[in-house]
Amino acid sequence: MTQPTLKQYETNRFSRIYALGAARGDLVVTNDDIAGPIDSSDEWIQRRTGIVSRRRASANVSLLDMAVEASNTAIKRAGIDPKEIGAVIFSTITHPHQTPSAAALLADRVGANPAPAYDVSAACAGYCYGIAQADALVRSGVAKYVLVVGGEKLSDFIDPTDRTISFLLADGAGAAIVGPSDYPGISPTVWGSDGSHWDAVGMTASLLELRDGTASWPTLRQDGATVFKWAVWEMVKVARAALEAAGVQPEDLAAIVTHQANIRIIDELAKQLEVPESVVVARDIVYTGNTSAASVPLAMDALLESGAVKSGGLALEIGFGAGLAFAAQVVVLP
């Protein structure tokens, strides 16, 4: 008796992003609205962050609501049947349940049930982590289409008196459909983490400390100097490595879409990369704020919707944040 030959997945050579979808918080929150508790001003906030206003969600709008809206748009634009989605990856740090995942609920709400679904915790790098995984799942043949969502309702985890990060933060969700392609649409991802700086940005306390009464409701905070230096100094190296891995030069890009952390970081990164003026630098932060995992897809969608970039161009996307975690890849714009 001979042993049968195992079947394995039939692979796809290439993958690409088919479409994006975006949902922003329904409220426009100005600097004047939040300046009081941090003893600041519109001018001070604009000068240090570039933010004019930020989008936050009403109390009755959940993280999942925004993720569903963004996902439905992406699915519709991609022209696929949600039943063909072979995996749902939801990058978020603000799903208010330790378990079950937000992704399982999202998959059900968008008609992708029973697709495998799981959350990714890589903070502001989360969407690019998700694209890396989706690319691998599609090319390996594990999934035909993958729904990747970066979504946050950060306003549930802010301290209005915190001067380190809370005033930057906003709510939203960005979604992408990744699927098989006739041409290379997603470059190798340069990604990683540095847990030696685990404390640089994150929550003020653990849930155990909250339970034991030794801490109040955990909120986000950061060591701004450490994060700024890392974001500029180390992420330039990551961005250059991603360009090299993709086999493209800065002048080949249509756009650079960085995590929308702070306009000063965005501008300094673009300067260090020595990108020509022809390359559009995403500055969605100005009227959206910092939406962590959602910021890259929201910024990319805004560039496409405004006509600032065209479908088919190349974009360097780079996410970086708590972990510390980072990921960068070059993609063909959907």
Partner 1 sequence: MALSQAEVLSGLAEIVNEETGIDTSSVQMDKSFVDDLDIDSISMLTIVVNAEGKFGVTIPEEEVANLKTVGDAVNFIVNA
Q: Which residues are catalytic?
A: 124, 259, 290
Q: How far is the CB of 240 from partner 1 (least distance, A)?
A: 13
DSSP state string for 56-84: E--TT--HHHHHHHHHHHHHHHHT--GGG
CB nearer partner 1, residue 40 or residue 121 = 40
CB nearer partner 1, residue 269 or residue 331 = 269
Q: How far is the CB of 318 from partner 1 (least distance, A)?
A: 17
In eight-state DSSP terms, residue 51 is -
Which amino acid is present at 299?
A: A
Q: How far apart are CA 144 and CA 156, in angstroms?
A: 35
Nearest to 313 by CA among 284, 288, 278, 283: 278
CB nearer partner 1, residue 57 or residue 266 = 266
The residue with tokens 């960068």 is 328
Q: How far apart are CA 308 and CA 281, in angstroms?
A: 10
Helix (H, G, I), strand (E, B) or coil at 159: coil
Q: Where are the alpha helices (DSSP H) in 181-229?
A: 207-211, 224-229
CB nearer partner 1, residue 209 or residue 223 = 223
Q: How far is the CB of 222 from partner 1 (least distance, A)?
A: 12
User: In degrees, to the nearest 5, what angle opens at C-alpha 286 toward C-alphas 219 and 204?
Assistant: 10
Neighbours of 226 (CB within 10 A): 14
CB nearer partner 1, residue 12 or residue 262 = 262
Q: Which residues in this chain contact partner 1 in the complex, by CB under 8 A? A: 47-48, 223-226, 228-229, 232-233, 262, 264, 268
Q: How far is the CB of 200 from partner 1 (least distance, A)?
A: 10
Q: How far apart are CA 105 and CA 85, in angstroms?
A: 14
Nearest to 116 by CA among 162, 139, 147: 147
Q: How far is the CB of 89 from partner 1 (least distance, A)?
A: 33
Q: How far is the CB of 34 from partner 1 (least distance, A)?
A: 19
Q: How far apart are CA 288 and CA 60, in angstroms?
A: 19
DSSP state string for 244-294: HHHT--GGG-SEEEE--S-HHHHHHHHHHHT--TTSEEP-THHHH-B-GGG
CB nearer partner 1, residue 91 or residue 262 = 262
